[in-house]
Structure 1
Amino acid sequence: MCGIAGIFHLETPKPVDPARVKAMCDAIAHRGPDGQGVWTAPGVGLGHRRLSIIDLAGSPQPMVSLDGRAVLVFNGEIYNYRELRQELKNAGAKFRTDGDSEVILAAWQRWGTDCVTHLHGMFAFAIYDLDARTLFLARDRLGVKPLFLATLSDGSVAFGSELKALLAHPLLRRDIDPLAVEDYLTWGYVPDGRSILKGVAKLPAGHSLLLRHGAPLPPPSQWWDVSFAERRKGKAEDLEAELLHLLRQAVSSRMTADVPLGAFLSGGVDSSSVVALMAEASTRPVRTCSIGFDVAALDESAYAEQVARQCRTDHVSRLVSPDDFEAIDRLAEMFDEPFADASALPTWRVCQLARETVTVALSGDGADEALAGYRRHLFQFGEDRIRSFLPQGLRKPLFGGLGAIYPKADWAPRPMRAKTTLLSLAGDSTEGYARALSYAPAELREGLYSDAFRRLRGDYRAEQPLLHLMRSAPARSGLDRAQYADLKFWLPGDILTKIDRASMAVSLEAREPLLDHRLIEFAASLPEGMRVRRGQGKWLMKRAMRRFLPEDILYRPKQGFVTPIAQWFRGPLSETARKIPVSTALAQTGWFDNRRLAGLVEAHLSGVSDNSRMLWQLLMLEKALTRFNAD
């Protein structure tokens, strides 16, 4: 795993200062503490920071091809590189290293931009072709590895693995994009295709970009997509066997490393499945790690220890206090952009624990999105059945009216919190899912914004790109469209951003076997009943893992990492909450109605409502703005 950065002049191929590229790489040194390098030519500069995983001494970067015609910087892992290497050797390619980086170069020289379709893995890379005078940028199918891009005033494009790399460039402007603020307040992150800063974007997952000297900046080109439009046929036993084969293949292919390797183990279905299959494939005990909390209601460590005993892993666990709010500033620094998923804190802590003994850790991320494992998928499935019986003309006034008058009962037991469900049923399937996915629905945001911000935002609404994505998805049903949105929108924006920044902050490589694209494509073709059945998500996966895991692991309620932000804001962070409406960075923007913000804070502190997610969003936005202003 590594960090990459570079500069490419679109217009006149001006000289690139190697020191400038080095400064961009130094800003992301945590991604690659084992080596560094810079390569420049007229109009282009490429930089690299290396975390050695495979071919420890033999694959320095930037890497120049044997014939000197192409140069590569690469972040990620190619899991089929050995098979590709042999295929390319049979076609006449020669190799001087044993790693995957040189395989990418040879694939580029044989297949050009189509090389990405031959690569199985996680990656973001840049290849400069000296003959064609082009720079090719590509990002993996699901967006495991990030790539930021910025257009600069001198006619160049700068890129880097994190926003930090671009912030090290003196020509980068730091103007906040109001549309990104709308996105962030809605989703809790800024999705692909945009960033918090104007002129900066993230190359979307499964996209590439080919830049030429003397040509304008082209739009990104999509090179991979997942389709839910086809349905796999067959008996449950046969589909289960195929799924298990794909799971084994995905896990075993990600166990290749020349450094210590282990796994995260939470005790949930996904991480437990990965560990069980690792144990099956390994001749030695798998190294596993987990964290527990000193609050029983939040602690899953007993389940992790149960799986560790069953799989005979070399397990280490650490108890941490949920009162980890002192790390908030470090968290803001880690993500650069505002990022409101509070589970990033425990994710970072478990990455720290893993890094004490391993350099590579396998995670269980991806199965919920691929196989319908979230509660919202079950709701979507059930709500669509209701929608199929009641026409929109009846549902909108009936459920919309009930939802409008139903109280926001955060204090009530979960079955009585019906407001969101009623409002969801009032709209169509895509609108309902957008509401389920959002941190802050439109009516809440509108009540917080100032008139000045509404003018800045114009007609744009954060739901618009998601609704378009779902309505144009290659899909048959509402559940299909929901999962498609998760894989294309939520997964790269939230889940993969979280694990990438948290792991890379401690120089740990995280691998996600459940995001193997062959597994994803298979899961997307499953009939709905193989994904959701009898109130259970991930039905076929749980069935396939019965021979490996006990039922109390497979069928217990999903929990995940929980951070007690509601309690924090009513306790040690209460004064911090009261400062949010008048904090310097937020107050200076003029984006919010401070009186309404103050009401939001007081309603939470008094226990009238749970506004902790919005308060956390505002706090992380404040931290990000303060950092941009201070740099």
Structure 2
Amino acid sequence: MCGIAGIFNTQGCGDVDPQLLRAMNQAQFHRGPDEGGVYFAPAIGLGHRRLSIIDVASGQQPMVSAEQQACLVFNGEIYNHQLLRQELINLGCRFTTHSDTEVILQGWLVWGAGVVAKLRGMFAFAIWDQSRQQLFLARDRLGIKPLYYSMLASGELVFGSELKALQVHPDLPSELCPQAISDYFSLGYIPEPKTIFNQVYKLRPGHTLTVSVGQNLPQTKQYWDVSFAHQREPEQVAKLLVEKLKQAVDIRLVAEVPLGAFLSGGVDSSAVVAMMAELQDEPVNTCAIGFDVADFNETEFAEMVAQRYQTAHQVSTIAADDFSLLDKLAYFYDEPFADSSAMPTYRVCELAKKTVTVALSGDGGDELFAGYRRYQWHLHEEKIRSLVPDIARKPVFSLLGKVYPKADWAPKFLRAKTTFQAIARDTIEGYFHNFSIFTEAQKALLFSDELKAMLGDYRSISVFNEHYKNFDGDDPLSLVQYLDMKTYLPGDILTKVDRVSMAHALEVRVPILDHEFVEWSASLPAKTKLANGVSKAILKTALEPHLPHDVLYRKKMGFAVPLCRWFRGPLNSKLKAALFDGHIAQSHLFNLGYIQQLFEQHSSGLRDHSAALWALLMFEAFLKKQLSNANNEIAEPVESVA
């Protein structure tokens, strides 16, 4: 796993500042501490940091083709590179390394932009084609690997694996994006293609970007999307599922460094560990993180799987006062990021790195096989919506939602006010609000008049509406799975894992998100995934011969942290100081009176505002990081010049 960076003068004149490019590359040292290199040609500079996994002895980057026609910097792993290598040899190509990097480079020379459709793996890469005077960027189908870019007023296009690399450039726009702020307080992350800064973007998953000399506007193009249009139930689906999952795991076991897996005790990570154990002779290296709060501790279930497969298992416990990570998280995420499970994810990566350099994870199972509880709740609401005509549903249930008393203290099925309000909304709006941290009404109270004026009539639900236009299925469960694959999966889950794994120079592979497995799972009918109230029904059925019943059918916990208790206990004073004595109070972006109300209601036990308060706390950490200019805290690189 690696970090890439680059500067391209689209006017085609002048040389790239070598000191500036090296500084951008240096900012991502943690992503590739083994080696570093830079490449310079007229109007272009490419940088690379390397974490050596495959072909450790060679495969250094930037990699230049034999005829000096093209240069590549690449972050990721290509699992079918040996098959592609043979295909290219048959076409007359000659290889000088055994690396997947050279396969991409040679593939570009033969297939051009079509090379991305042939790659099976996770990747973000940049190719400078000297003969075409063209820069080509690409990101993998699901967004496992990140890629940021910006077109500067000077005519330079800058890019990097992390936003901090771009921030080294003195001309990068630093104005906050109001729409991104609004999205963050709805979703807890900033969805593609936005970033927290105006005129700075993430390349969308499954997209490429091309820009040539003399071209002022980069051209982006989608090369892949998941389709739910042709759902069918194949014979022996459970057997097929295990076979396809095992293959996706198998091709991810190739490495020249120690390899292991995360084992949370949930269905998905346990499934990956089971497949690994059945594919290799030596014990699987596994690791788990627990909490000193029993309701959030899953380590006993992880232990069941570890014992069954006799893994080399490590366990570490997070204490209730483990708050030292707040500033570190802000540094590694660069943008505001409100998924509190980033804390245990950081710790499990830290634990894994003690024994392995590559770890397999179970990420993606909830999206592919309908594992989130919100899916069941959404289908319940959809059933009620379908019983009442739109012309009556919206006015009637909107009125009931206004007059019915609020009851946050009650079980969810008795919170009629929330239910009435949800049913009054349409399908997309209902799902969006089911997991929004702040609703639009609450953001109207949270945001200052100044920020609301900048937002105008913008609503964050437009993020979902945009993706809805591209959905080709016809059932409500597939729709919300598709929306999550386009938003929550890349924006939250994969971002979370990439940043904290790379913070420890640990490569994480995600076999469940193998794009061929994703495409196959999308072809399964919704009824196989959510059946009679059982989430991941077909996955659990398929895994019954491989995993304990208590692991498969226990209540889902998720990789959460006990924020509610922390904010009423050991973190209460830190939270208060951050919200009212820090940068949020000076930013003119928020209504401090409403924040005071949230804090007091939560502290008193009247309401649980832990998610909202965590989002505010992490936004404060972002503002603090921006003002402290923390980009200097990276070790010296070891660099070569191509």
Normalization by structure 2: what TM-score? Answer: 0.96
1:373 aligned residue: 371
2:106 aligned residue: 106
Q: Is the 8 A contact 1:392 1:427 kept in 2?
A: no
> 1:344 aligned to 342, 345, 367, which one?
342
Q: Is the 8 A contact 1:5 1:46 kept in 2?
A: yes
2:637 aligned residue: none
**Cα displacement (A) at 1:242:** 2.1
Matched letter for residue 426 of structure 2 = D
1:288 aligned residue: 286
2:72 aligned residue: 72
**Comparing both chains, which one has the higher relative contact order based on Cα–Cα distances under 8 Å and sequence gaps of 6 or more?**
2
2:634 aligned residue: none
2:580 aligned residue: 582
Matched letter for residue 223 of structure 1 = Y
**Cα displacement (A) at 1:322:** 3.2
1:169 aligned residue: 169
Matched letter for residue 29 of structure 1 = F
**Cα displacement (A) at 1:471:** 4.2
SS at match of 1:169: coil
Distance 1:293 1:579 in 2: 25
1:502 aligned residue: 500
Find out whether 1:195 has 2:165 as its counterpart.
no
2:298 aligned residue: 300
> 1:425 aligned to 418, 423, 426, which one?
423
Distance 1:143 1:451 in 2: 35
Distance 1:418 1:29 in 2: 52
Distance 1:574 1:69 in 2: 59
Q: Is the 8 A contact 1:569 1:605 kept in 2?
A: yes
**Measured at CA, do residues 409 and 154 of structure 1 come closer, stay the same or move farther in structure 2, by a change above 3 Å?**
same
Q: Is the 8 A contact 2:151 2:157 kept in 1?
A: yes
SS at match of 1:315: strand
1:250-269 matched pairs, under 5 angstroms: 250-269=248-267
Distance 1:581 1:264 in 2: 34
Find out whether 1:144 has 2:144 as its counterpart.
yes
Distance 2:327 2:579 in 1: 19
**Measured at CA, do residues 407 and 78 of structure 1 come closer, stay the same or move farther in structure 2, by a change above 3 Å?**
farther
Distance 2:84 2:12 in 1: 37
Deviation string 1:300-345 (CA, Å, 9 cap, x unpaired) is: 1110010001111111112221321222111111111010000000
Find out whether 1:226 has 2:226 as its counterpart.
yes
**Cα displacement (A) at 1:408:** 4.4
**Measured at CA, do residues 146 and 420 of structure 1 come closer, stay the same or move farther in structure 2, by a change above 3 Å?**
farther
Deviation string 1:64-84 (CA, Å, 9 cap, x unpaired) is: 112221100000000000111
Deviation string 1:116-159 (CA, Å, 9 cap, x unpaired) is: 00000000000000100101000000000000112223210110
Distance 1:15 1:463 in 2: 43
Relative to structure 2, which stretch is displaced further, 165-174 or 415-424?
415-424
Distance 1:279 1:314 in 2: 11
Distance 1:534 1:551 in 2: 18
Distance 2:416 2:559 in 1: 24
Find out whether 1:359 has 2:326 as its counterpart.
no
Distance 2:603 2:435 in 1: 25
2:638 aligned residue: none
Distance 1:472 1:115 in 2: 24
**Cα displacement (A) at 1:407:** 4.4
2:90 aligned residue: 90
Distance 1:188 1:617 in 2: 7
Relative to structure 2, which stretch is displaced further, 471-480 or 359-368?
471-480
SS at match of 1:146: coil
Distance 1:481 1:32 in 2: 38
1:157 aligned residue: 157
1:33 aligned residue: 33
Q: Is the 8 A contact 1:13 1:44 kept in 2?
A: no
Q: Is the 8 A contact 2:210 2:219 kept in 1?
A: no
1:239 aligned residue: 237
SS at match of 2:545: coil
SS at match of 2:324: helix
Distance 2:87 2:330 in 1: 45
Identity %: 50
Distance 2:337 2:136 in 1: 29
Q: Is the 8 A contact 1:581 1:595 kept in 2?
A: no
Distance 2:146 2:406 in 1: 37
1:317 aligned residue: 315
Q: Is the 8 A contact 2:579 2:616 kept in 1?
A: no
Deviation string 1:331-366 (CA, Å, 9 cap, x unpaired) is: 111111010000000000000000000000000000
Relative to structure 2, which stretch is displaced further, 432-441 or 525-534?
432-441
Distance 1:34 1:281 in 2: 29
Distance 1:225 1:561 in 2: 28
Find out whether 1:5 has 2:5 as its counterpart.
yes
2:444 aligned residue: 446
Q: Give the length in aligned residue pairs.
A: 629
**Cα displacement (A) at 1:419:** 4.0
Find out whether 1:572 has 2:574 as its counterpart.
no
2:639 aligned residue: none
Q: Is the 8 A contact 2:176 2:196 kept in 1?
A: yes
Give the unaligned 5+ runs of structure 1.
none
Deviation string 1:378-425 (CA, Å, 9 cap, x unpaired) is: 112222222222212232233323333444433333433444433221
Distance 2:598 2:160 in 1: 38
RMSD (Å) for aligned C-alpha atoms: 1.4
Deviation string 1:508-550 (CA, Å, 9 cap, x unpaired) is: 0001000011111111111111111010111111111111012
Deviation string 1:231-250 (CA, Å, 9 cap, x unpaired) is: 11434xx2222222210111
SS at match of 1:325: coil
**Cα displacement (A) at 1:268:** 0.6
Distance 2:575 2:408 in 1: 19
